[in-house]
A and B are shown apart, each in its own frame.
Chain A
Amino acid sequence: MNDSLVVFKNVVKLFGEFVAVKEFSLEIKKGEFLAIMGPSGCGKTTTLRMLAGLDQPTSGEICLNGKLMNDVKPSERDTPMVWQTLALFPFLNVIKNVEFGLKMRGFSADERRIKAMTWLKRLEIEEFASRDISQLSGGQRQRVALARALVTEPKILLLDEPLSALDAHLVIRMQSVLTRLQRELDITFVYVTHSQSEAFAMADRVVIMAKGEIEQIGTPREIYRAPANRFIAEFIGRNNIISGSILDKKENLITLQSKAGPFSVSSPEKLSLEVGEKLNLVVSADVITVSEKKPEADNVIECSLIGEEFIGSIVTLFLEAKGGIEFKAQIQQREIQNLDIRSGSQLFLSWPTASGHILPK
């Protein structure tokens, strides 16, 4: 029994000379919440549109449920989509919007009404059934768009940056609505976003794309702790990337010489590294401890504070070490109150050897 629902095989998409997607191969499992993440123009939306049949692959194969989809019209696929702009039909009221897919499939007026109402109830917007779209708030419209896509009970739902226009608190609410729905319905969600927090908060697996290619596939935890390359380490942000060369290597420990000083890091099992080899060390900002007195720890570095970014309970400190190397450290707001912090303060950063991650070349 094959459990993949969607298979992309060497899919290429050209727009004139421009390569939007190149040699894209991916299997999406049944009942999986998959996020495709990447900077704008990386080909993530094009990939989704090809799955919906709105763009044709230049070469390669796309299969859905074991069936080759390349020449199937969008209206004959069962791949409803939630659009970035929502694309609700402005002259139809809420329930007519939701009924649209059922109407196209030839359901009777009564059946349509019953099914649509069930979905409006499920998404807690039944009171707005006869309202005009223009009378709804952003969050309510979002729910209408979801109901409209799900009412035909598809096996897969495509979401193209659906939360990008919402306020921050609504994004968090909609994220929990989406994850709960996906679990209850047990269908596949393919979620395209440029937002790391959305992808990591909801997805079972995340695909990171850049310039039309897959950079890494993995669970959010894997990608966060062990980015596959420098692009990803930079893209997911709040990472310190330290370049240096190997000074010493024994058993499980590597000592790295950098401009900011020597650091030790647990040796990755998969890579065989030689003394003198150049490499990048990734230390995520949230594993760094900040203290005023020099601590007894593995990797200690003295820095001066150059700035701080305060977003609620977490504070990001920007610091500069010897040799002009910049560091970022994230700490809890309540911890920072015990520290004497102002611009130019001398602080000590430290992190355990096991928290560093060596980027494979």
Chain B
Amino acid sequence: MTATRTTSLFFKSYICLVFVFVVAPILASFIFSFNSDRFPTIPLGNFTLHWYKTIYHDKDVWDALWISVTSAISVSIIATFIGFCTAYTDYRYNFFGKSAYLALALLPPTIPLVIMGLAMLAWLSHIGMSGRWYSIIIAHVVLCTPFAMAIIRIRLAQLNSSAEAAAWNLGASEWRTMGEIIIPFSLPAIISSLCLTAAVSFDEFAVSWFVSGLNKTIPVIILEVLQGQVDPQINAIGTFVFLTSMTLVVIAQILLMTRHGKGLSHE
């Protein structure tokens, strides 16, 4: 009795600690972004929106934001499309070497980001595509597609394997079946994949830093500012980036959760 209570207490405090370590730095950054002092020290100075105003008037930040947002949107659409196609081939077909095909499709996230960034830079400059506006998009699509595929594949695995054939059997052509059955069924996963891949692209630093050239994204700007001096602007930008990504991730999670377990045909 006591033993289990002690263990339970131990695990509860362990989990609390994990959350503290994850959240505390972000929370600190959030608090200091409203602090008037130049350096992050306690006690805090006055409440101020000064740092937000500074970045609001900084053209570099706006340029970076524009690049980050357009890249994130393009990446999410392209990666989700390719991911959907890959997941659908897995659902629909059986062929020789399918497990190798799937392993290959899921490979990119296992490569260290620095290596990936270097390789991307080398390859893109070799074919004359580095430092362009689309370089980041290409690199991020490679990085994000496996996530898109994994999310959509999980959803499709819940669809009765005869569902497509049943639609054909009721008079739907193959394209019609795609539009009436496969896409509507996968829609929650497709939207959550759009959100997650956008978040990954928006946050990603290492690969962006290598391939961006002059087209700096928000995480790259943060590092540049940081290299010059400790500036509470960073806290303001960081808070903004954090909130954007979290919103996208939370939307994705909600979509994945509400549809899971509902309306599955497993009988």
Q: Which B2-49 residues have a C-beta within 8 angstroms of A?
A: none
Contact of B169 among A52, A91, A103, A138 (CB under 8 A): A52
**Which of A80, A86, A132, A152 has a CB less than 8 Å from the CB of B267?**
A86
0/1 string, A125-157, CB within 8 A of B gives 1: 000000011100010010000001100100000
One of B169, B181, B184 near A79 (C-beta < 8 A): B169
Q: Smallest distance from the beta carbon of A161 to chain B beta carbons, Å?
A: 12
A54 near B171 with CB under 8 A, answer no
- Write out the residue numbers on chain B whose beta carbons fall within 8 Å of the beta carbon of A141: 267
The number of A-B residue pairs with CB atoms under 8 Å apart is 88
Q: Are A133 and B265 in contact (CB under 8 A)?
A: yes
Given known pairs A80-B169, A81-B169, A85-B267, the reply for A90 and B159 (CB within 8 Å) is yes
Q: Which of B118-126, B160-168, B202-210 contacts A (4 or more CB under 8 A)?
A: B160-168
Q: Flag if B171 contacts A75 (CB, 8 Å).
A: yes
Interface residue from A73, A87, A101 paired with B265 (Cβ < 8 Å): A87
- The verdict on A148 contacting B170 (CB below 8 Å), with A87-B265, A90-B185, A134-B262 known, is yes
Q: Chain A residues near B263 (CB, 8 Å)? A: 90-91, 132-134
Which range holds the interface residue count of chain B?
A: 20 to 34
Closest CB-CB distance, B195 to chain A, in whole Å?
A: 20
Determine whether the beta carbon of A85 is less than 8 Å from that of B162.
Answer: yes
> Which residues of chain A have C-beta atoms less than 8 A from B181's C-beta?
89
Known: A75-B173, A91-B185. A86 touches B168 (CB 8 A): no
Q: From residue 151 to 169 of chain A, which have CB atoms closer than 8 A to chain B?
A: 152, 165
Q: Is B53 an interface residue (CB 8 A)?
A: no
Q: Which residues of B contact A73 (CB under 8 A)?
A: 168, 173
Q: What is the CA–CA distance of A21 and B171 in the complex, to the nearest angstrom?
A: 26
Contact with A along B174-189 (1 / 0, CB 8 A): 1010001100110000
- Return the chain B residue nearest A151 by Cβ: B170
Taking a contact as CB atoms under 8 Å apart, the answer to whether A87 and B165 are in contact is: yes
1/0 per residue A250-282: CB within 8 Å of B? 000000000000000000000000000000000
0 or 1 for each of A300-314: is its CB under 8 Å from B? (1 = yes): 000000000000000
Q: A334 at interface (Cβ–Cβ under 8 A)? A: no
The residues of B that contact A81 with a CB separation of less than 8 Å are 166, 169
The residue on A at minimum CB distance from B171 is: A104
Q: Is B214 part of the contact surface with A, judged by Cβ < 8 Å?
A: no
**Which residues, 95 to 144 on B, are CB-close (under 8 Å) to A?**
none
Given contacts A80-B170, A85-B160, is CB(A74)–CB(B165) below 8 Å? yes
Is A235's beta carbon under 8 Å from chain B? no
Q: In the bound complex, what is the Cα–Cα distance between A43 and B173 (angstroms)?
A: 26
Task: Given A87-B162, A104-B176, A134-B262, decide whether A54 and B267 contact each other with a Cβ distance below 8 A.
Answer: no
With A88-B265, A90-B160 in contact, do A100 and B170 touch (Cβ < 8 Å)? yes
A200 within 8 A of B: no
Residues in B whose Cβ lies below 8 Å from that of A52: 169
Closest to B188 in A: A91
State the CA gap A75–B176 with chains docked (Å): 10
In the complex the two chains form, what is the Cα distance from A138 to B172 in whole Å? 26
Question: From residue B160, how far is it (CB to closest CB) to chain A in Å?
Answer: 5
A318 in the interface (beta carbon within 8 A): no
Kindly state whether residue B1 has any CB partner on chain A within 8 Å: no
B170 and A54 within 8 A (CB): no
B169 contact set on A, CB distance < 8 A: 52, 54, 74-75, 79-81
Expressed in whole angstroms, the minimum distance between the Cβ of A236 and any Cβ of chain B is 29
Return the chain A residue nearest B162 by Cβ.
A87
Give, as a whole number of angstroms, the nearest-CB distance from A356 to chain B.
44
Decide yes or no whether A105 CB sits under 8 A from chain B.
yes
Q: Once bound together, how far apart are the Cα atoms of A333 and B163, in whole Å? A: 45
A104 touches B172 (CB 8 A): yes
Of A73, A78, A134, A149, chain B has the most CB atoms within 10 Å of the CB of A134
CB distance from A225 to the nearest CB of B (A): 37
- A24 interface residue (CB < 8 Å to B): no
CA distance A149 to B263 in the complex (A): 20
Does the CB pair B265–A85 fall under 8 Å? yes
- A87-B160, A87-B163 given; A54·B265 CB < 8 A: no
Contacts A75-B171, A85-B160; A90 near B166 (Cβ below 8 A): no
In the complex, residue of chain B having the shortest beta-carbon distance to the beta carbon of A74: B168
> How far is A90 from B161 in the complex, measured between Cα atoms in Å?
12
A105 partner residues in chain B, CB cutoff 8 A: 171
Contacts of A64-102 to chain B: CB distance below 8 A? 73-76, 78-81, 83, 85-91, 100-101
Given contact pairs A87-B162, A152-B170, enumerate 13 new A-B contacts (beta carbons under 8 Å): A75-B170, A75-B171, A81-B169, A83-B166, A85-B162, A85-B267, A87-B166, A87-B265, A88-B265, A89-B265, A100-B167, A101-B170, A165-B267
Q: List 10 A-B contacts (CB under 8 A).
A: A75-B170, A75-B172, A75-B173, A83-B162, A83-B166, A100-B180, A101-B170, A101-B171, A148-B170, A165-B267
A interface residues, Cβ below 8 angstroms from B: 52-54, 73-76, 78-81, 83, 85-91, 100-101, 103-105, 132-134, 138, 141, 148-149, 152, 165
